[in-house]
Structure 1
Amino acid sequence: MKISISIILLVLINITTASALDVGDISSFMNYNNNTLSKEIKNTTENGRLINIRIERLSSPLEGGEVIPMDNKQEILLTPSSILLPANSSDIVRFIYHGPEDAQERYYRIEWMDQALTDLKKNGSTRNAIATASARIGTILVVAPRKVNFNYEFKNNKIVNTGNATLRVIAYGPCIHSAEVNECKENYYLMPGKTREFSKVNVLDKKGKVALWQGENFIPVK
Protein backbone atom coordinates (compact mmCIF):
# COMPACT_ATOMS: atom_id res chain seq x y z
CA MET A 1 0.00 0.00 0.00
CA LYS A 2 1.39 3.35 -1.02
CA ILE A 3 1.26 5.98 1.69
CA SER A 4 1.18 9.73 1.09
CA ILE A 5 4.17 11.70 2.33
CA SER A 6 1.77 13.72 4.45
CA ILE A 7 0.77 10.73 6.58
CA ILE A 8 1.48 11.41 10.22
CA LEU A 9 3.51 8.26 10.71
CA LEU A 10 6.24 9.11 8.22
CA VAL A 11 7.86 11.64 10.51
CA LEU A 12 9.20 8.91 12.73
CA ILE A 13 11.25 7.01 10.18
CA ASN A 14 14.86 7.00 11.28
CA ILE A 15 17.32 5.50 8.81
CA THR A 16 20.94 6.31 9.54
CA THR A 17 22.32 4.61 6.43
CA ALA A 18 20.93 2.65 3.52
CA SER A 19 19.67 -0.67 4.86
CA ALA A 20 19.38 -4.04 3.20
CA LEU A 21 16.66 -5.04 5.66
CA ASP A 22 13.07 -4.94 4.42
CA VAL A 23 10.70 -4.52 7.39
CA GLY A 24 7.54 -4.04 5.31
CA ASP A 25 5.08 -1.23 6.02
CA ILE A 26 6.29 1.80 7.93
CA SER A 27 3.19 1.66 10.11
CA SER A 28 1.48 -1.46 11.51
CA PHE A 29 -1.89 -1.68 13.25
CA MET A 30 -3.10 -4.14 15.86
CA ASN A 31 -6.88 -4.15 15.69
CA TYR A 32 -9.09 -3.95 18.76
CA ASN A 33 -10.07 -7.64 18.51
CA ASN A 34 -6.48 -8.93 18.23
CA ASN A 35 -3.76 -9.15 20.87
CA THR A 36 -1.02 -10.32 18.51
CA LEU A 37 0.56 -9.07 15.29
CA SER A 38 3.07 -10.85 13.08
CA LYS A 39 5.47 -8.86 10.91
CA GLU A 40 7.66 -10.41 8.21
CA ILE A 41 11.16 -9.08 7.70
CA LYS A 42 13.43 -9.92 4.77
CA ASN A 43 17.15 -9.93 4.07
CA THR A 44 17.46 -9.15 0.36
CA THR A 45 21.28 -9.31 0.20
CA GLU A 46 23.85 -12.00 -0.44
CA ASN A 47 25.24 -11.63 3.09
CA GLY A 48 23.95 -12.65 6.50
CA ARG A 49 22.38 -9.97 8.72
CA LEU A 50 22.11 -9.69 12.47
CA ILE A 51 18.86 -7.97 13.50
CA ASN A 52 18.27 -6.70 17.05
CA ILE A 53 14.82 -5.34 17.85
CA ARG A 54 13.57 -3.11 20.66
CA ILE A 55 10.27 -1.36 21.32
CA GLU A 56 9.31 1.73 23.31
CA ARG A 57 6.03 3.51 23.95
CA LEU A 58 5.36 6.99 22.54
CA SER A 59 3.00 9.70 23.72
CA SER A 60 2.14 10.34 20.05
CA PRO A 61 3.35 9.25 16.60
CA LEU A 62 3.32 12.90 15.55
CA GLU A 63 6.45 15.02 15.45
CA GLY A 64 7.19 16.01 19.03
CA GLY A 65 5.93 12.71 20.49
CA GLU A 66 7.98 11.62 23.50
CA VAL A 67 9.02 8.26 24.91
CA ILE A 68 6.82 7.47 27.92
CA PRO A 69 6.80 4.57 30.42
CA MET A 70 4.82 1.41 29.76
CA ASP A 71 1.82 0.76 32.01
CA ASN A 72 3.53 -2.48 33.05
CA LYS A 73 6.63 -4.47 32.11
CA GLN A 74 4.60 -6.99 30.15
CA GLU A 75 2.54 -4.37 28.28
CA ILE A 76 3.89 -5.37 24.89
CA LEU A 77 6.29 -8.20 24.19
CA LEU A 78 8.09 -9.30 21.04
CA THR A 79 9.64 -12.54 19.97
CA PRO A 80 12.33 -13.03 18.92
CA SER A 81 14.22 -9.89 19.90
CA SER A 82 17.32 -10.94 17.98
CA ILE A 83 17.47 -12.73 14.62
CA LEU A 84 20.29 -14.02 12.46
CA LEU A 85 19.03 -13.82 8.88
CA PRO A 86 20.96 -15.78 6.24
CA ALA A 87 21.32 -14.31 2.76
CA ASN A 88 18.06 -13.91 0.81
CA SER A 89 15.88 -15.17 3.64
CA SER A 90 12.99 -14.00 5.78
CA ASP A 91 11.61 -14.47 9.27
CA ILE A 92 8.60 -13.49 11.36
CA VAL A 93 8.62 -11.22 14.41
CA ARG A 94 5.58 -11.50 16.66
CA PHE A 95 4.25 -8.71 18.88
CA ILE A 96 1.97 -9.55 21.82
CA TYR A 97 -0.11 -6.98 23.72
CA HIS A 98 -0.73 -7.52 27.45
CA GLY A 99 -1.62 -3.94 28.32
CA PRO A 100 -4.79 -2.45 29.81
CA GLU A 101 -8.15 -3.35 28.26
CA ASP A 102 -9.30 0.26 28.15
CA ALA A 103 -10.48 2.93 25.69
CA GLN A 104 -7.06 4.43 24.94
CA GLU A 105 -5.12 4.06 21.70
CA ARG A 106 -1.42 3.34 22.23
CA TYR A 107 1.61 4.05 20.05
CA TYR A 108 4.96 2.28 19.96
CA ARG A 109 8.21 2.83 18.08
CA ILE A 110 9.98 -0.32 16.90
CA GLU A 111 13.72 0.05 16.34
CA TRP A 112 15.35 -2.44 14.01
CA MET A 113 19.15 -2.52 14.38
CA ASP A 114 20.51 -4.04 11.17
CA GLN A 115 24.12 -5.26 11.05
CA ALA A 116 25.90 -6.98 8.19
CA LEU A 117 27.82 -10.17 8.91
CA THR A 118 31.18 -10.73 7.25
CA ASP A 119 33.26 -13.91 7.32
CA LEU A 120 36.94 -13.57 8.18
CA LYS A 121 39.56 -16.33 8.12
CA LYS A 122 41.48 -16.87 11.32
CA ASN A 123 44.56 -19.13 11.70
CA GLY A 124 44.17 -20.23 8.10
CA SER A 125 41.04 -22.35 8.61
CA THR A 126 38.57 -21.06 11.20
CA ARG A 127 35.85 -18.77 9.88
CA ASN A 128 34.27 -16.26 12.25
CA ALA A 129 31.20 -14.14 11.59
CA ILE A 130 31.84 -10.50 12.47
CA ALA A 131 28.95 -8.03 12.78
CA THR A 132 29.60 -4.57 11.37
CA ALA A 133 27.44 -1.50 12.00
CA SER A 134 24.94 -0.83 9.23
CA ALA A 135 21.65 0.90 9.95
CA ARG A 136 18.82 1.64 12.35
CA ILE A 137 15.25 1.72 11.08
CA GLY A 138 12.29 3.10 13.01
CA THR A 139 8.70 1.97 12.38
CA ILE A 140 5.43 2.53 14.24
CA LEU A 141 3.01 0.09 15.84
CA VAL A 142 -0.46 1.39 16.71
CA VAL A 143 -2.53 -0.65 19.15
CA ALA A 144 -6.23 0.18 18.89
CA PRO A 145 -8.23 0.56 22.11
CA ARG A 146 -9.65 -2.71 23.43
CA LYS A 147 -12.86 -0.75 24.15
CA VAL A 148 -13.04 0.82 20.74
CA ASN A 149 -15.39 3.60 19.66
CA PHE A 150 -15.36 4.26 15.91
CA ASN A 151 -16.98 7.57 15.04
CA TYR A 152 -16.58 10.44 12.61
CA GLU A 153 -18.19 13.57 11.21
CA PHE A 154 -18.06 14.56 7.55
CA LYS A 155 -19.15 18.02 6.46
CA ASN A 156 -18.29 20.12 3.41
CA ASN A 157 -14.66 19.37 2.59
CA LYS A 158 -13.58 18.01 6.01
CA ILE A 159 -13.70 14.80 7.98
CA VAL A 160 -13.24 14.69 11.75
CA ASN A 161 -12.33 11.60 13.79
CA THR A 162 -14.62 11.87 16.82
CA GLY A 163 -13.89 8.34 18.03
CA ASN A 164 -10.95 6.91 19.97
CA ALA A 165 -9.16 4.89 17.24
CA THR A 166 -7.18 5.91 14.16
CA LEU A 167 -9.10 5.70 10.88
CA ARG A 168 -7.73 5.15 7.39
CA VAL A 169 -9.52 7.64 5.13
CA ILE A 170 -9.77 7.33 1.34
CA ALA A 171 -11.13 9.87 -1.16
CA TYR A 172 -11.24 9.65 -4.94
CA GLY A 173 -12.95 11.45 -7.79
CA PRO A 174 -12.66 14.71 -9.74
CA CYS A 175 -9.60 16.80 -8.96
CA ILE A 176 -9.87 20.21 -7.32
CA HIS A 177 -7.10 21.93 -9.27
CA SER A 178 -5.62 19.78 -12.02
CA ALA A 179 -7.24 19.97 -15.45
CA GLU A 180 -4.83 17.39 -16.88
CA VAL A 181 -5.86 14.46 -14.67
CA ASN A 182 -9.33 12.97 -14.80
CA GLU A 183 -9.33 11.60 -11.27
CA CYS A 184 -7.39 12.20 -8.07
CA LYS A 185 -7.00 10.09 -4.97
CA GLU A 186 -6.10 10.76 -1.34
CA ASN A 187 -5.23 8.26 1.35
CA TYR A 188 -4.64 9.28 4.98
CA TYR A 189 -4.49 8.02 8.53
CA LEU A 190 -6.62 10.17 10.83
CA MET A 191 -5.91 10.03 14.55
CA PRO A 192 -8.60 10.53 17.23
CA GLY A 193 -9.58 14.17 17.60
CA LYS A 194 -7.92 15.20 14.33
CA THR A 195 -9.51 16.90 11.31
CA ARG A 196 -8.58 16.42 7.66
CA GLU A 197 -9.44 18.73 4.78
CA PHE A 198 -9.15 17.16 1.35
CA SER A 199 -6.67 19.00 -0.85
CA LYS A 200 -6.75 17.04 -4.12
CA VAL A 201 -10.17 15.44 -4.51
CA ASN A 202 -13.26 17.59 -5.02
CA VAL A 203 -15.45 15.75 -2.51
CA LEU A 204 -18.17 18.40 -2.97
CA ASP A 205 -18.70 17.13 -6.52
CA LYS A 206 -21.40 14.47 -6.80
CA LYS A 207 -18.81 12.14 -8.33
CA GLY A 208 -16.40 12.62 -5.42
CA LYS A 209 -16.30 9.64 -3.08
CA VAL A 210 -15.15 9.33 0.53
CA ALA A 211 -14.74 6.10 2.50
CA LEU A 212 -12.82 4.84 5.50
CA TRP A 213 -11.61 1.72 7.24
CA GLN A 214 -12.77 1.09 10.80
CA GLY A 215 -10.38 -1.67 11.76
CA GLU A 216 -11.13 -4.37 9.17
CA ASN A 217 -14.49 -2.88 8.12
CA PHE A 218 -14.83 -0.73 4.99
CA ILE A 219 -17.36 2.10 5.49
CA PRO A 220 -18.67 4.28 2.61
CA VAL A 221 -19.04 7.90 3.78
CA LYS A 222 -20.13 9.62 0.58
Structure 2
Amino acid sequence: MSKHAGIARFTYNWGLATWQNLYQDGFKPNKFLLKKFFNNSVKTQLEWIKHKGICQKITQYAFDQLGAAYDRFFKGLGGYPRFKNKGQNDSFTINAAGKPIPIGGVRVKLPTIGWVKTCEGLPHTTTTKLSISRIADDWYIAFAHCVETEPSSKSVDVVGVDLGIKELATLSTGVTFPNPEAYKKNIQKLKRLSKALARKTKGSSNRHKAKIKLAKHHNRVSSIRKDSLH
Protein backbone atom coordinates (compact mmCIF):
# COMPACT_ATOMS: atom_id res chain seq x y z
CA MET A 1 0.00 0.00 0.00
CA SER A 2 2.94 2.31 0.62
CA LYS A 3 4.16 1.62 -2.92
CA HIS A 4 0.72 2.41 -4.34
CA ALA A 5 0.59 5.66 -2.37
CA GLY A 6 4.08 6.55 -3.59
CA ILE A 7 3.14 6.04 -7.25
CA ALA A 8 -0.03 8.08 -6.81
CA ARG A 9 2.01 10.88 -5.20
CA PHE A 10 4.66 10.76 -7.95
CA THR A 11 2.01 10.91 -10.68
CA TYR A 12 0.17 13.80 -9.03
CA ASN A 13 3.37 15.82 -8.54
CA TRP A 14 4.53 15.10 -12.11
CA GLY A 15 1.18 16.24 -13.46
CA LEU A 16 1.22 19.42 -11.35
CA ALA A 17 4.77 20.33 -12.42
CA THR A 18 4.01 19.64 -16.09
CA TRP A 19 0.77 21.63 -15.89
CA GLN A 20 2.66 24.63 -14.51
CA ASN A 21 5.38 24.41 -17.18
CA LEU A 22 2.88 24.16 -20.03
CA TYR A 23 0.87 27.09 -18.67
CA GLN A 24 4.02 29.24 -18.44
CA ASP A 25 4.77 28.41 -22.09
CA GLY A 26 1.36 29.71 -23.16
CA PHE A 27 -0.56 26.44 -23.40
CA LYS A 28 -3.85 25.48 -21.75
CA PRO A 29 -3.29 22.00 -20.30
CA ASN A 30 -5.93 19.66 -18.89
CA LYS A 31 -5.95 16.30 -17.16
CA PHE A 32 -6.76 14.40 -20.37
CA LEU A 33 -3.72 15.81 -22.19
CA LEU A 34 -1.43 15.06 -19.27
CA LYS A 35 -2.83 11.57 -18.80
CA LYS A 36 -2.33 10.71 -22.49
CA PHE A 37 1.26 12.00 -22.57
CA PHE A 38 2.13 10.26 -19.30
CA ASN A 39 0.80 6.88 -20.43
CA ASN A 40 2.43 7.03 -23.88
CA SER A 41 5.79 8.67 -23.15
CA VAL A 42 6.59 8.62 -19.44
CA LYS A 43 5.04 5.52 -17.94
CA THR A 44 6.59 3.24 -20.57
CA GLN A 45 10.08 4.19 -19.32
CA LEU A 46 9.36 3.62 -15.62
CA GLU A 47 9.67 -0.08 -14.85
CA TRP A 48 8.87 0.36 -11.14
CA ILE A 49 5.38 1.61 -12.03
CA LYS A 50 4.66 -1.28 -14.40
CA HIS A 51 5.34 -3.90 -11.70
CA LYS A 52 2.79 -6.73 -11.78
CA GLY A 53 1.94 -6.18 -8.12
CA ILE A 54 0.84 -2.59 -8.74
CA CYS A 55 -2.66 -1.58 -9.83
CA GLN A 56 -2.21 0.42 -13.04
CA LYS A 57 -5.35 2.47 -12.46
CA ILE A 58 -3.87 4.53 -9.62
CA THR A 59 -2.16 6.89 -12.09
CA GLN A 60 -5.51 7.53 -13.81
CA TYR A 61 -7.18 8.50 -10.53
CA ALA A 62 -4.18 10.68 -9.60
CA PHE A 63 -4.77 12.78 -12.74
CA ASP A 64 -8.50 12.89 -11.95
CA GLN A 65 -7.70 14.27 -8.49
CA LEU A 66 -5.36 16.86 -10.00
CA GLY A 67 -8.04 17.93 -12.48
CA ALA A 68 -10.60 18.20 -9.67
CA ALA A 69 -8.17 20.33 -7.64
CA TYR A 70 -7.74 22.74 -10.55
CA ASP A 71 -11.51 22.86 -11.09
CA ARG A 72 -12.02 23.89 -7.46
CA PHE A 73 -9.29 26.53 -7.83
CA PHE A 74 -10.77 28.04 -11.01
CA LYS A 75 -14.23 28.15 -9.39
CA GLY A 76 -12.87 29.90 -6.32
CA LEU A 77 -13.70 26.98 -4.03
CA GLY A 78 -10.11 26.21 -3.02
CA GLY A 79 -6.50 27.32 -3.18
CA TYR A 80 -3.96 26.55 -5.87
CA PRO A 81 -2.97 22.85 -5.97
CA ARG A 82 0.12 22.04 -3.93
CA PHE A 83 2.74 19.33 -4.29
CA LYS A 84 2.34 16.28 -2.08
CA ASN A 85 4.97 15.23 0.45
CA LYS A 86 5.85 11.70 1.48
CA GLY A 87 4.20 10.66 4.71
CA GLN A 88 1.60 13.43 4.64
CA ASN A 89 -1.94 12.48 3.59
CA ASP A 90 -0.77 9.41 1.66
CA SER A 91 -3.65 7.97 -0.35
CA PHE A 92 -4.54 6.23 -3.59
CA THR A 93 -7.59 4.94 -5.46
CA ILE A 94 -7.83 1.56 -7.20
CA ASN A 95 -10.42 -0.51 -9.04
CA ALA A 96 -10.75 -3.97 -10.55
CA ALA A 97 -10.68 -2.99 -14.24
CA GLY A 98 -14.39 -2.11 -14.18
CA LYS A 99 -15.49 -5.28 -12.38
CA PRO A 100 -17.50 -4.99 -9.15
CA ILE A 101 -15.50 -5.46 -5.96
CA PRO A 102 -17.30 -7.48 -3.25
CA ILE A 103 -17.22 -5.95 0.23
CA GLY A 104 -18.39 -7.37 3.54
CA GLY A 105 -17.29 -8.57 6.94
CA VAL A 106 -13.86 -7.98 8.44
CA ARG A 107 -11.88 -9.06 5.36
CA VAL A 108 -11.71 -7.49 1.92
CA LYS A 109 -9.74 -8.53 -1.15
CA LEU A 110 -8.07 -5.47 -2.67
CA PRO A 111 -7.21 -5.59 -6.39
CA THR A 112 -3.52 -6.61 -6.92
CA ILE A 113 -2.85 -6.25 -3.16
CA GLY A 114 -4.80 -9.22 -1.87
CA TRP A 115 -6.70 -9.97 1.32
CA VAL A 116 -6.53 -7.50 4.21
CA LYS A 117 -8.27 -7.48 7.59
CA THR A 118 -10.29 -4.54 8.85
CA CYS A 119 -10.78 -3.41 12.45
CA GLU A 120 -14.50 -2.93 11.90
CA GLY A 121 -17.01 -4.97 9.94
CA LEU A 122 -17.90 -3.62 6.50
CA PRO A 123 -21.42 -3.68 5.03
CA HIS A 124 -22.09 -6.45 2.53
CA THR A 125 -22.21 -4.75 -0.85
CA THR A 126 -20.20 -4.19 -4.03
CA THR A 127 -18.32 -1.14 -5.28
CA THR A 128 -16.45 -0.13 -8.42
CA LYS A 129 -13.49 1.59 -6.74
CA LEU A 130 -11.80 1.91 -3.37
CA SER A 131 -9.93 4.84 -1.85
CA ILE A 132 -7.25 3.97 0.71
CA SER A 133 -5.50 6.54 2.87
CA ARG A 134 -2.94 6.53 5.68
CA ILE A 135 -3.30 8.57 8.87
CA ALA A 136 -0.71 8.20 11.64
CA ASP A 137 0.57 4.90 10.20
CA ASP A 138 -2.96 3.43 10.10
CA TRP A 139 -4.67 2.63 6.79
CA TYR A 140 -8.30 3.53 6.14
CA ILE A 141 -10.56 2.24 3.37
CA ALA A 142 -13.42 4.29 1.90
CA PHE A 143 -16.05 3.50 -0.72
CA ALA A 144 -19.55 4.59 -1.71
CA HIS A 145 -22.65 2.42 -1.69
CA CYS A 146 -26.40 2.97 -1.64
CA VAL A 147 -28.38 2.50 1.56
CA GLU A 148 -32.17 2.38 1.66
CA THR A 149 -33.56 4.16 4.70
CA GLU A 150 -37.00 5.11 5.92
CA PRO A 151 -37.62 8.67 7.17
CA SER A 152 -38.10 8.91 10.91
CA SER A 153 -41.18 10.52 12.42
CA LYS A 154 -40.90 14.13 13.64
CA SER A 155 -41.72 14.90 17.25
CA VAL A 156 -41.69 18.68 16.63
CA ASP A 157 -41.81 20.77 13.47
CA VAL A 158 -39.13 23.34 14.33
CA VAL A 159 -36.11 23.17 16.65
CA GLY A 160 -33.89 26.10 17.63
CA VAL A 161 -30.18 25.42 18.19
CA ASP A 162 -27.87 27.51 20.35
CA LEU A 163 -24.16 26.74 19.90
CA GLY A 164 -21.96 27.45 22.89
CA ILE A 165 -18.62 26.77 24.57
CA LYS A 166 -19.59 25.10 27.83
CA GLU A 167 -22.25 23.06 26.04
CA LEU A 168 -21.69 22.06 22.44
CA ALA A 169 -25.32 22.75 21.55
CA THR A 170 -28.58 23.45 23.36
CA LEU A 171 -31.92 22.81 21.68
CA SER A 172 -35.10 24.76 22.23
CA THR A 173 -36.67 21.49 23.36
CA GLY A 174 -34.34 21.43 26.37
CA VAL A 175 -31.95 18.77 25.03
CA THR A 176 -28.26 19.58 25.49
CA PHE A 177 -25.16 18.10 23.86
CA PRO A 178 -22.03 18.27 26.04
CA ASN A 179 -18.74 19.60 24.70
CA PRO A 180 -16.22 16.70 24.67
CA GLU A 181 -13.28 19.12 25.19
CA ALA A 182 -11.02 16.63 23.42
CA TYR A 183 -7.99 18.92 23.18
CA LYS A 184 -8.24 20.21 26.76
CA LYS A 185 -8.46 16.70 28.21
CA ASN A 186 -5.50 15.44 26.15
CA ILE A 187 -3.21 18.48 26.24
CA GLN A 188 -0.88 17.02 28.89
CA LYS A 189 -0.27 13.82 26.94
CA LEU A 190 0.24 15.81 23.74
CA LYS A 191 2.88 17.93 25.50
CA ARG A 192 4.63 14.85 26.90
CA LEU A 193 4.73 13.12 23.51
CA SER A 194 5.94 16.33 21.81
CA LYS A 195 8.81 16.66 24.30
CA ALA A 196 9.72 13.01 23.81
CA LEU A 197 9.85 13.53 20.05
CA ALA A 198 12.05 16.64 20.39
CA ARG A 199 14.60 14.70 22.49
CA LYS A 200 15.07 11.95 19.89
CA THR A 201 17.95 12.05 17.41
CA LYS A 202 16.89 13.13 13.94
CA GLY A 203 16.83 10.25 11.47
CA SER A 204 16.78 7.54 14.16
CA SER A 205 14.24 4.75 14.40
CA ASN A 206 13.27 5.89 17.91
CA ARG A 207 12.39 9.34 16.55
CA HIS A 208 10.19 7.70 13.91
CA LYS A 209 8.42 5.67 16.62
CA ALA A 210 7.90 8.79 18.74
CA LYS A 211 6.57 10.64 15.70
CA ILE A 212 4.01 7.89 15.05
CA LYS A 213 2.87 7.94 18.71
CA LEU A 214 2.33 11.70 18.59
CA ALA A 215 0.52 11.48 15.24
CA LYS A 216 -1.78 8.74 16.55
CA HIS A 217 -2.72 10.81 19.58
CA HIS A 218 -3.40 13.87 17.42
CA ASN A 219 -5.60 11.66 15.23
CA ARG A 220 -7.47 10.43 18.30
CA VAL A 221 -8.24 14.01 19.38
CA SER A 222 -9.32 14.89 15.86
CA SER A 223 -11.56 11.81 15.67
CA ILE A 224 -13.31 12.74 18.93
CA ARG A 225 -14.05 16.18 17.54
CA LYS A 226 -15.33 14.85 14.21
CA ASP A 227 -17.49 12.24 15.92
CA SER A 228 -19.09 14.86 18.18
CA LEU A 229 -19.76 17.26 15.31
CA HIS A 230 -21.17 14.46 13.18
Fold match by TM threshold 0.5: no
Decide which structure has the larger Cα Rg and report it.
2
With the shorter chain as reference, the TM-score category is: under 0.3
- Superposition TM-score, scaled by structure 1 size: 0.22
Specify which structure has the higher proportion of helix. Answer: 2
